[in-house]
Structure 1
Amino acid sequence: MKTPTGLQPLIDDGVIDAVLRPLKSGKEAAVYVVRAGDQIRCAKVYKDMAQRSFQQRVQYQEGRKVRGSREARAIGKASKYGRKQQETAWKNTEVDALYQLRDAGVRVPEPYGYFHGVLVMQLIVDADGHSAPRLGEVELSHAQACDFHRCLMRQVVNMLCVGLIHGDLSEYNVLVGPDGPVIIDFPQVVSAAGNNASRSMLLRDVNNLTASLGAWAPELLDTWYGEEMWALYEAGELHPDTELTGTFVHDTTKPDLEGVRHAINDAREEALIRQQGREAAAEMD
């Protein structure tokens, strides 16, 4: 196939030898199957802000570290330079998270490097060597669904133990390899300690997976793993080997102030997204 513009520098530098085929194209990036020597890998080419429908929402940015004070001020002012720095930070987030999670033993693709804004990583395949399907694309037995749920809850716990929450986890960004599920796509990963919406994001991640796997094992729908994880995390009692039960006693005496705050934040973020879209479109004219 014709080499995409974003991948030509990697061929020129000898990082990869050939682009074999497109794998998927989403709102955030396009992924290609590539060859590096005798190894088949994948390369993730990020789309710029003007091309993406997934804008850099304030909710995901909160709590992320910026490399310098000048960059932090520029991002805060939403200047042209600040938006470019925000783009760079957004792309670096997934790369940094992938290495951190790999080192923590989370089931993620093996990263091979970040070159010219392109992330090169392991291609997850099925038992026949074909590109692995997504969790939402496979039929499961009751036992498989329960096993996958156990495995994924353990991955979410391991992520939380290093202070990270996926933030957009569902059956669409879990691949099914020969040894079980592998989690992908981390550009929206959030800091558990630094983001005010971290609890709700964790619950959404867990509930998305539970709802999907609950189609094959309905008893999973009566579990409360997300709430249990968060309570243990807040108490400083969550560890990678913590045994979860899926049970949780809700406190019905507290008002839902968090829900009100999230509704307000969502309205603010929607207004910011529209403004960013207008500015990006104007820059392309």
Structure 2
Amino acid sequence: MKTPEPLQALIEDGLIDEVLRPLKSGKEASVYVVRAGDEVRCAKVYKDMAQRSFKQRVQYEEGRKLRGSRESRAVGRASKYGRRQQEAAWKNTEVDALYQLRDAGLRVPQPHGYFHGVLVMELVTDAEGFSAPRLGEVELDADQARAFHAILLRQVIGMLCCGLIHGDLSPYNVLVGPEGPVIIDFPQVVSAAGNNAARRMLLRDVNALTAFLGRSAPELLDTWYAEEIWELFERGELRPDTELAGDWRPDEREVDLDSVREAINDAREVALIRQQGREEAEAD
């Protein structure tokens, strides 16, 4: 295969030795399997803003801080310089999040550096050493589904304790390695304290996973973990090792139940649409 130009720059600088194959191409970036010395890693090449199809980007950027007032003013004016700064901040967000979450002991790929707009990181593999499948591609029994749900809830709590919400968490942003699930794709990560949509996004993330895993373990569909997590966070009582009950009940005098139901239905509809899209692509 022809080596993509951004990866050729990494080869010339001795940061990687060889591009082995493409791994996947998505709305935000293309990912390649590369060799660096004796290690096989992956390299995420971000697409230019004009090439990307990602929607509703503004809601994710709320609460993010740029380096200085000049950059903020330029972004506000939508100048060419401002767009470049906005683009750089979007890419750097994932890099910063990976380092922060990995340092916190969470299940995310190990980053190995960000060079020339390319993120080099750990290649998550299965037990045989092949690229790990996505959670949405794996058949699980009830016990596995319950175990994965517990692990992923613990990751969501850990992220929230770091002040972050994934923002686009689904069975297709989770890889299944030998030790269980690993969460990927963080360019849209949300500031829990600085984004007005943070609660809704947390509910959507958790409910998307619950809806999927509930197919194998239906009792999960009767749990209210997302609401319990957010309530503890708002009260300042959430810790990485906080034990959850899952039987949270709202105070109907203060809680908008319609918005809770809307978030659950939204997550399930998104999961269904994505599944239908993949089935249609496979049929073609």
Q: What is the SS of the residue equivalent to 1:232? A: helix
| Paired residue type of 1:195 | N
Q: What is the SS of the residue equivalent to 1:171? A: coil
> What is the deviation of 1:6?
1.6
The CA RMSD over aligned residues, in Å, is 1.5
The number of residues matched between the two structures is: 260
Deviations along 1:223-270, whole A, 9 cap, x unmatched? 0111000000000000001001112111222474996xx9xxxxxxxx
In the other structure, the counterpart of 1:41 is 41
Q: What is the SS of the residue equivalent to 1:172? A: coil
| Paired residue type of 1:92 | N
In the other structure, the counterpart of 2:281 is none
In structure 2, C-alpha distance between the alignment counterparts of 1:35 and 1:48, rounded to whole Å = 24
In the other structure, the counterpart of 1:111 is 111
In the other structure, the counterpart of 2:64 is 64
Deviations along 1:116-150, whole A, 9 cap, x unmatched? 00000000000011000000000011100000000
In the other structure, the counterpart of 1:240 is 240
> What is the deviation of 1:84?
1.0
Distance 1:183 1:85, change over 3 A: same
1:203/1:226 contact within 8 Å kept: yes
Distance 1:144 1:183, change over 3 A: same
In structure 2, C-alpha distance between the alignment counterparts of 1:27 and 1:160, rounded to whole Å = 25
| Paired residue type of 2:53 | S
In the other structure, the counterpart of 1:157 is 157
In structure 2, C-alpha distance between the alignment counterparts of 1:252 and 1:208, rounded to whole Å = 24
In structure 2, C-alpha distance between the alignment counterparts of 1:75 and 1:25, rounded to whole Å = 28
In the other structure, the counterpart of 1:102 is 102
In the other structure, the counterpart of 1:215 is 215
In structure 1, C-alpha distance between the alignment counterparts of 2:91 and 2:80, rounded to whole Å = 17
In the other structure, the counterpart of 1:22 is 22
> What is the deviation of 1:57?
1.6
In the other structure, the counterpart of 1:77 is 77
| Paired residue type of 2:66 | V
Distance 1:47 1:87, change over 3 A: same
In the other structure, the counterpart of 1:144 is 144
Gaps of 5+ in 1: 263-285
| Paired residue type of 1:157 | I
Matched, 1:228 2:228: yes
Distance 1:255 1:104, change over 3 A: closer
In structure 1, C-alpha distance between the alignment counterparts of 2:257 and 2:210, rounded to whole Å = 25
What TM-score do you get using the length of structure 1 for normalisation? 0.89
Matched, 1:173 2:193: no
Distance 1:12 1:238, change over 3 A: same
In the other structure, the counterpart of 1:195 is 195
Distance 1:257 1:135, change over 3 A: closer
Deviations along 1:139-169, whole A, 9 cap, x unmatched? 0111000000000000000000010000000
In structure 2, C-alpha distance between the alignment counterparts of 1:4 and 1:79, rounded to whole Å = 29
Distance 1:85 1:55, change over 3 A: farther
Q: Percent identity?
A: 76
Distance 1:194 1:257, change over 3 A: farther
1:49/1:55 contact within 8 Å kept: no
Q: Which runs of 4 or more aligned residues in structure 1 lie more than 4 Å from their structure 2 counterparts after TM superposition?
A: 255-259
Higher relative contact order (CA 8 A, sep 6+): 1
In structure 1, C-alpha distance between the alignment counterparts of 2:47 and 2:56, rounded to whole Å = 12
In structure 1, C-alpha distance between the alignment counterparts of 2:144 and 2:57, rounded to whole Å = 35
Distance 1:48 1:153, change over 3 A: same
In structure 2, C-alpha distance between the alignment counterparts of 1:184 and 1:213, rounded to whole Å = 18
Deviations along 1:193-248, whole A, 9 cap, x unmatched? 00000000000000000001001000000001110000000000000010011121
In the other structure, the counterpart of 2:32 is 32
In the other structure, the counterpart of 1:53 is 53
Distance 1:161 1:10, change over 3 A: same
Deviations along 1:57-100, whole A, 9 cap, x unmatched? 21101000111110011111222211111000000000000000
